[in-house]
Structure 1
């Protein structure tokens, strides 16, 4: 029998290596797949790259503060802000250090959560998939080096800045390598209908934001929240697990795309009121929404994020019910504005995926948010 121990996120696991390579035997002879390497168990990686007691206490405090925002006990406003993808440890940590200095001035009103996104969804499966896959963006994938690189980067960012971060749960099984570090996770538009993502979200004890799908459908998004807030029994990392349900699961509006490929934003007042009504019909715990100011809401016109955030704040201030519902905004931002190709002579701190706001625009925008919430 496999010994079962309680893990902090309501899952069961064995701290040792459950199975050796012989379990997989001749998998490459049965399917078009080969095993490149045996990756370490999450518990082993955590033991090799542990969190200090100071960081553990910091995360516990930050998690409590963030929970209070989503449950309505705190009226602070969340600003999830950072690069489209975290492609360089030094640049990411410098960016987060700058955020920390701004945070010192606005922490009475805002909860700044850095976006340190280490997985990058790709519409066709082609292209740079994030630091988890490629610790060096212009080199071949190396997932073992990747899981080490992302853990070390997240830990360094916390130690230097005092800010715990957000990441995207692109692959449900991989989150176990970071589940003791993150204070917020998001499920992207292409994953939100996936059963394993929804069920895994139900076993988390931090806020999980479910984005509307690329079609923009609110019903699909809200059904994902229903699933994430419910208890489930399913297979997770080769174990039979039962989850408690996540009462902090909520929605993220990121705009949609119609059948003609035209971006349809969903941050306008009418969209927010429709969301408020639909939320009310579901009877969900802790109704909450975060508005993603980029992606299909901005048609990837990154400078539009400034205007979009301003409109969201205006709608929120106009209607008390929306003020309760809209808990924060998500902004894509980096040291340098715009984006660049991996093949170019790369500029330090400039996105190699979607274009981002530059630092000066970001700093001014954060101050503006603090003045207007």
Structure 2
């Protein structure tokens, strides 16, 4: 085989034993998970905002960002459920480029997966300790989520992974909300099929074990826009798109219909400032149609301390994205207040 075995990585249980959680952190997660569940089941009308950098590349900058979110949370928590976006592994369209802290704890150095899994667990733990906010990450590698499953309150399955069987079946064994993004084609049917699969029980192989899952009633749709066969970006956050998704939900026997709108990626064509306008349109659609207000549970925003993005290496600007461009903190703070006023 054209594969070289570098080293045996620790089992998730062993890593958790080496880097355990305090009773305080466990309690914070339990409370946050219950509050988030109430939103997705309709018991609470708080609006979810999953917000943070495109990629969590630097522990100090990420924890700085999350602590700022915590200060806002103290003032906005009566209307908003703020979930920090701490994405530690990144899908790459061609396989090239920075794959996230899991692969490269230091972005300008060679991959080190052992150091990476330790780094991401320590960063997520520190973020909770310093902010009291549990976070969201992307389930890029289903078998790796076991290193963080006692820390996360939300997970997303990306556009390139949503048709993958292992992602769907693993999502069916999770007890927190899992957002299934529409594929890069933008196909709603594929997305809803993924939600259906995730909401039902399955028997499969996971980390070398024969497992059975009970189904995840909080699996739901994330709309992130699509690209047609000519490479043209097609957004799907408009009123007509939301109504069409609502009608398609109504044709299926799915629990807790919900959608989160990702206002960057193909919805903004990666024009990061457009996120502000798109959020306003989503809120207008919700307020215009009471049924959409129940369906659209929140938005996902890419934001960091400094706006825009930068290349890896050279003079590094603290808190500026090294992958997709993000809103800066000043715009983010204004936007969160605006969402709280209008959601």
TM-score normalised according to structure 1 size: 0.92
The 5 A counterparts of 1:184-333 are 184-333=154-303
1:144 pairs, out of 114, 119, 124, with 114
Shift of 1:34: 1.0
Residues in 2 aligned to 1:265 and 1:122: alpha-carbon distance in whole angstroms: 21
SS of 2:251's partner is: helix
Matched, 1:122 2:92: yes
Q: CA deviation at 1:239?
A: 0.4
Q: Compute the displacement of 1:343 (Å).
A: 2.6
For 1:89, the equivalent position in structure 2 comes to 59
- In 2, the alpha carbon distance for the partners of 1:81 and 1:262 equals 26
Unpaired runs of 5+ in structure 1?
1-30
Residue from 302, 309, 312 that aligns with 1:339: 309
1:29-64 residue CA offsets vs partner (Å, 9 max, x unmatched):
xx1111111100000000111110000001000000
Gaps of 5+ in 2: none
> What is the CA–CA distance in structure 2 between the aligned matches of 1:146 and 1:36, rounded to whole Å?
14
Equivalence for 1:27: none
Aligned length: 343
Give 2:80's aligned residue.
110
Matched, 1:35 2:21: no
For 1:282, what is the secondary structure of its paired residue?
coil
> Larger C-alpha radius of gyration, 1 or 2?
1
SS at 1:286 equivalent: coil
What's 1:51 paired with? Answer: 21
Give distance in 2, aligned partners of 1:266 and 1:221.
13
SS of 2:116's partner is: helix
Of 154, 159, 175, 2:124 maps to: 154
Per-residue CA distance 1:177-216 (angstroms, 9 max, x = gap)? 0000000000000000000000000000000000000000
CA–CA distance in structure 2, aligned partners of residues 221 and 345 of structure 1: 41
CA distance, structure 2, for counterparts of residue 87 and residue 129 of structure 1: 10
**Structure 2 Cα separation of the partners of residues 232 and 126 of structure 1:** 33
- Corresponding residue of 1:60: 30
TM-score (norm. length: structure 2): 1.00
Post-superposition shift, 1:318? 0.3
Q: Which residue of 2 aligns with 1:101?
A: 71
Structure 1 ranges of 4+ moved more than 6 A: none
1:163 & 1:333 partners in 2: Cα distance? 16
For 1:166 and 1:331, how far apart are their aligned partners in 2? 12
In the TM superposition, residue 121 of structure 1 has moved relative to its aligned partner by 0.3
Task: Say yes or no: does 1:358 pair with 2:328.
Answer: yes
Query: Counterparts of 2:67 and 2:314 in 1: how far apart (Å)?
Result: 26
